Homo-oligomer: A and B are copies of this chain.
Amino acid sequence: MTSIDFFSPHRFCEFIELTADEREGLALLHGPVMRVERGQVIRRSGESVHEVFFLIDGWVISSLDLPEGERQIVKVHLPGDMLGSPSMTLEAAAETLTAITPVVVSRVSLSAIGRLFTTAPRLAAALFMSVQQERVILMDRIASLGRSTASQRLAAFLLHMYDRMRVRDPAQGLTLSMPLTQENIGDITGLTAVHVNRTLRQFDEDGLVLCRRQSFTILDLPKLRKLSALPERQWARRPAWLEASLAAVPVPAE
């Protein structure tokens, strides 16, 4: 839907304003660009970790595989996201990254990420904030999985996607087009595909969300928000403390 922008700094400028130089610096991170077909695995759980990926175009899911063949999707990635970075702390990758649409990613070496800390402290800080943000999102998911019903989880999931798509595209309306199957949505919400179907069908009958094949139209946003049992997170867009502390010592020349 959005055009390919190789230097799209999306997630890097959610918390600080980037200078033109910094945007260029970001572009330097990018390694070889890789195209992946729908359904293909970008990196499988258990493999060793040499790089992370920036998602340039398409949708990718990050999942943990369990012994009984079940799987839990831990994140649905949209363009601009950094993929696979939690595993930089591990000997063997935790997540399997799977393209669910045709995908374009750029490979970024771990060293390039590491060098940000010495050469581009503001970018490193931006990345850090972005990772903390992901942590909040995971915390909300845990609350949703641990303490709510099927309909609440589905409401929370739809709202989360709505909120994210709206950040990426301010023109995003109440209709979400998502290349996810009901089985995918089950793997996200910890439900079976059968029960996802029943519950979404109920949303539809109740006039809460119009559920069509890979398209959802939120009909009653406040009601859905209330049902989800989670607050709408207000991100600190340009926190004063961050800007101030990064300005304290200028970036060393070169």
Contacts and interface: CB of A to CB of B under 8 A. Distances in A.
Interface of A: 15, 49, 64, 66-68, 70-72, 74, 85-92, 94-95, 109-115, 117-119, 121-122, 124-125, 127-129, 131-136, 138-143, 145-148, 187, 189-190, 229-231, 233-236, 239, 241-242, 244-246, 248-249, 251-252
B248 A95 contact: no
B89 A249 contact: no
Interface centre among A70, A117, A190, by most chain B C-beta atoms within 10 angstroms, is: A117
Contacts of A64: 139-140, 142-143
Given A121-B124, A136-B94, A138-B135, A72 B245 contact: no
A248 B115 contact: yes
Number of copies: 2
B134 A246 contact: no
B241 A111 contact: yes
B118 A88 contact: no
Contact of A90 (B111, B190, B235): B235
Contact of A68 (B89, B229, B231): B229
Interface centre among A49, A135, A140, A248, by most chain B C-beta atoms within 10 angstroms, is: A135
Q: Which 9 A-B pairs have the closest CB atoms?
A: A146-B190, A114-B245, A118-B249, A138-B138, A72-B143, A145-B145, A91-B234, A64-B143, A117-B121
Contacts of A133: 86, 89
Contacts of A113: 245
B190 A132 contact: no
B114 A124 contact: no
Given A114-B241, A241-B110, A146 B143 contact: no
